[in-house]
Structure 1
Amino acid sequence: MRAINTFAALDKFGRIRLSKNFFMRDFMYSEISNFYGESNIPDDPKKAEEAGRHLCEELLEPLNATFGRIAVRSAYRSPKINKLGNEKKHNCASNEKNYAHHIWDYNDENGLGATACIVIPWFMDKYKDGADWRSLAYWIHDHLPYSELEFFDGQGMCSFNLSWHEKPKKVITSWLEPRTLLKGENRTGIFAEWYEGFPALRTSV
């Protein structure tokens, strides 16, 4: 796909269906973009689409099928929007650190990747009732081919960054305690006691 230079091209890009339940438009909303009046449009639409498809098909669709609707809080950021968020201290890492993360259309040193910050309402309610964030982290570790997870309290929402990468790191960190939960752990199926009562993995609804 060519660079997006017209409204018609942007409208068409937003209508791209990345997976059964997700469209590109679902991931392009940005408070930073809206507040500062700057557009959030990828430099390389084709690469953003490719990374987004992997994120949706391999990670978000199974979560959506298993736990019900998930809410996307922040996902794709163009280099311009991410740089602005970093400069304004809006919890955005530098562009170089966000390549193959929130900046889907630029590879990092290891290849292609994409990140979305999401909330799972099913778990949010349990978290407010005292559930440990690690139970969800371990469920994802044991069931999904994620690359990185980063958890936040998020005013009681238990929001988290979920990352797909073509060379997954298998790292789980948090702004809660412990700050690092797992690092490079590839074994799965070993944390089942943490998520007793969770639904079984579903891949479609």
Structure 2
Amino acid sequence: MRKPGSMSALEELGRVRLSENFYMRDFLYSEISNFYGIPNIPHHPNVAIEAGTNLCRELLEPLRYAFGHVAIRSAYRSPEVNAFGNEKGLNCGSNENNHAHHIWDYRDAVGRLGATACVVVPWVWDRHQNEGDWRKLAWWIHDHLPYNSLYFFPKLWAVNLNWREQPEQRIDSYAEPKGTLTKPGMANHSGDHGESYEGFPLFRDR
């Protein structure tokens, strides 16, 4: 598929089904794009579709199956949208750092395919709003899903959920307690963390 050059072609891209419950259109909305009038269109749609399909099938569908609705706050960004957001201080990192993150259609510096969606899991937020409660969801994901990285935020425990080839499994947070919760080499990285998320839905492999 070529980069859409018309509204009808963009509609066709939006109709691409990435997984059972998610379509490409679900991931193309951007407040930066909407407010500043910068098209949020992949340069390489086939690459974005492949990366997004893995993100949905490996991470988002299992989350949805366990917790119900998963709200997408921010997902795909075109290089133009991301560069503008970075230049204007709108919570966007550099394009290079966002390859295989929010910029799905460009591989990272070592050639890995990847995709990020910032999501909110209402089931978790509605039940666990005490300081540090984001760690419950973090450990549940760590124990059950093949994520590459998680980055949590204070509002609604939103999390940048990244799928990538050859995942590293690292968790960081802007929410208190800030910093790195775990990464390869830390003593807490392996083993079961079930007591950290007692009462959470059981993971069931569909």
Query: Which ranges of 4 or more aligned residues in structure 1 deviate by more than 3 Å?
Result: 185-189
- Inter-partner Cα distance in structure 2 for 1:130 and 1:175: 12
**Comparing 182-191 with 139-148, which one deviates more in the overlay?**
182-191
Separation in 2 of the partners of 1:195 and 1:143? 12
Residue 70 of structure 1 corresponds to 70
Tell me, in whole angstroms, the C-alpha distance in 2 between the residues paired with 1:104 and 1:72: 15
Name 2:89's counterpart in structure 1.
Answer: 89
Shift of 1:128: 2.5
Shift of 1:203: 3.8
Residue aligning to 2:159: 160
Report the equivalent of 1:136: 137
Q: Which residue of 1 aligns with 2:149?
A: 148
Query: In structure 2, what is the Cα distance between the partners aligned to 1:6 and 1:153?
Result: 38
Q: Judge conservation of contact 1:143–1:188 (CA < 8 Å) in 2.
A: no
Question: How big is the shift at 1:126?
Answer: 1.7
Give the C-alpha shift of residue 130 in structure 1.
5.9
RMSD: 1.5
The residue that corresponds to 1:28 in the other structure is: 28
Gaps of 5+ in 1: none
Q: Is the 8 A contact 2:3 2:41 kept in 1?
A: no
Distance 2:205 2:182 in 1: 25
CA offset at residue 178 of structure 1? 3.8
1:17 partner amino acid:
R
> What is the CA-CA distance between 1:202 and the residue it aligns to?
2.8
Kindly state the Cα deviation for residue 169 of structure 1 after the two structures are TM-superposed: 1.2
Corresponding residue for 1:195?
197
- Partner of 1:169 in structure 2? 168
Residue 188 (structure 1) shift? 5.1
CA shift for structure 1 position 4: 1.1
TM-score between the two structures when normalised by the length of structure 2:
0.94
SS of aligned partner of 1:69: coil
Structure 1 length as normaliser, TM-score? 0.94
Aligned-partner SS, 1:101: coil
Helix, strand or coil at the partner of 2:151: strand
TM-superposed CA distance for 1:127, in Å, is 2.5
The answer on whether the counterparts of 1:61 and 1:203 sit within 8 Å (CA) in structure 2 is: no
1:191 corresponds to which letter in structure 2?
Answer: H
- Residues 22 and 203 of structure 1: CA distance in aligned 2, closer, same or farther (over 3 Å): farther
CA-to-aligned-CA distance 1:135-177 (integer Å, 9 cap, x gap) = 11000000000000000012xx110100000011110000121
- Contact 1:152 1:158 survives alignment (8 Å): yes
1:103-125 Cα shifts (integer Å, max 9, x gaps): 00000023100000000000011
Q: 1:83 and 1:178 mapped to 2: Cα distance?
A: 26
Aligned identity (percent) is 56
Q: Is the 2:172–2:181 contact (alpha carbons within 8 Å) kept by the matching residues of 1?
A: yes
DSSP-derived class of the 1:128 partner: coil
- 8 Å contact kept, 1:152–1:160: yes
CA contact (8 A) 1:127 1:158 kept: no
Q: In structure 2, what is the Cα distance between the partners aligned to 1:90 and 1:203?
A: 37
Q: What does 1:5-44 align with in structure 2 at a 5 Å threshold?
A: 5-44=5-44
Structure 2 residue runs of 5 or longer lacking an equivalent are none
Shift of 1:187: 5.7
CA distance in 1, matches of 2:142, 2:8: 40
